[in-house]
Amino acid sequence: MERIAQGRTAEIFAWGDGKILKLFRPGFDGSAYEAQMAQAVIASGMDAPKLFDLVTVDDRRGIVYEYIPGETMRAVFEQKPLSLLALAAQFAATQAHIHSCTAPQLPSLKAKLRDKIQQAAHLDPTTKAAVLAQLTRLPEGDALCHGDYHPDNLLLNANGAKVIDWVDAAQGNPLADVARTYILLTVGDSEAPLWLRMKLGIVRRIFVPTYLRQYFALRGGTFKDIRLWLAPVAAGRLSEDIPQPAALVALVKHSLNGG
């Protein structure tokens, strides 16, 4: 089989005409849950990659998906940096479209976030309790939320954009989903190489403000609304065993203090 991509938990292989195989690494088997999430997303009316089958290859579980041609939005930006503003607008419009769908078959975003906060490392009990109390006060919602929306999960081709990797999908308040995206785009590793930190600086100064402005124009709201979700979403991300968590811990505490 021809491997075309790989990640921490799975490898992606070409699988016949118009299909790819997501093959989980030994010791990982999220295939049944991911398939359930993918089917619920498709049922919501979202144009997500079709799911064809669950398979086992060499004692490893896998999912056969529709092959989506194209390049990630991040790759397009790296090739055409002058397209940054247009890409930010497209990024916002695609997320706004996601949030126009409802997905009653998906789990609650707040419930998932509560579980993640309870499992989060690097937070003292008092801070964790304050974050959970804030989460309780925030409103529920029934919008389709991607749960991990960033430029690597958006494929661009001549037909437009298609969002991939729906394993973290949930139904909930779209502002929480935007808060997650904001954190993914702005909270980086302070020990990363200089070139990577410079690139992140461009994203922070140009891409993120344009993205948020376009999103709010389409869906309403302001950054003040997003700020209420920053502490719970950042705390939940601390359950993901990420390197250099200090920036997230600082964001949690700053947000709890009204920052």
208 and 162 in one domain? yes
119 and 24 in one domain? no
238 and 146 in one domain? yes
Q: Specify the pLDDT at position 81.
A: 87
User: With 80 as the cut, is the pLDDT of residue 200 above it?
Assistant: no
93 and 193 in one domain? yes
From 35, 66, 97, the end of a domain falls on 66
157 and 177 in one domain? yes
118 and 245 in one domain? yes
Q: Specify the pLDDT at position 258.
A: 80
189 and 139 in one domain? yes
95 and 41 in one domain? no
Domain count for the chain: 2
Q: What is the mean pLDDT of residues 173-195?
A: 81
Q: How confident is residue 7, by pLDDT bands cut at 50, 70 and 90?
A: confident
80 and 201 in one domain? yes
As a whole number, the mean pLDDT across the chain is 92
Q: Specify the pLDDT at position 6.
A: 86
User: With 80 as the cut, is the pLDDT of residue 144 above it?
Assistant: yes
234 and 219 in one domain? yes
Q: Specify the pLDDT at position 196.
A: 57
Lowest average pLDDT, out of 36-50, 62-76, 195-209, goes to 195-209
Q: Domain limits at 209? A: 71-256
Q: What is the mean pLDDT of residues 53-59?
A: 93
Q: Specify the pLDDT at position 110.
A: 98
3-class secondary structure for the chain? CCEEEECCCEEEEECCCCEEEEEECCCCCCHHHHHHHHHHHHHCCCCCCCEEEEEEECCEEEEEEECCCCEEHHHHHHHCHHHHHHHHHHHHHHHHHHHCCECCCCCEHHHHHHHHHHHCCCCCHHHHHHHHHHHHHCCCCCEEECCCCCHHHEEEECCEEEECCCCCCEEECHHHHHHHHHHHHHCCCCCCCHHHHHHHHHHHHHHHHHHHHHHHHHHCCCHHHHHHHHHHHHHHHHHHCCCCCHHHHHHHHHHHCCC
User: With 80 as the cut, is the pLDDT of residue 194 above it?
Assistant: no
Q: Specify the pLDDT at position 189.
A: 55
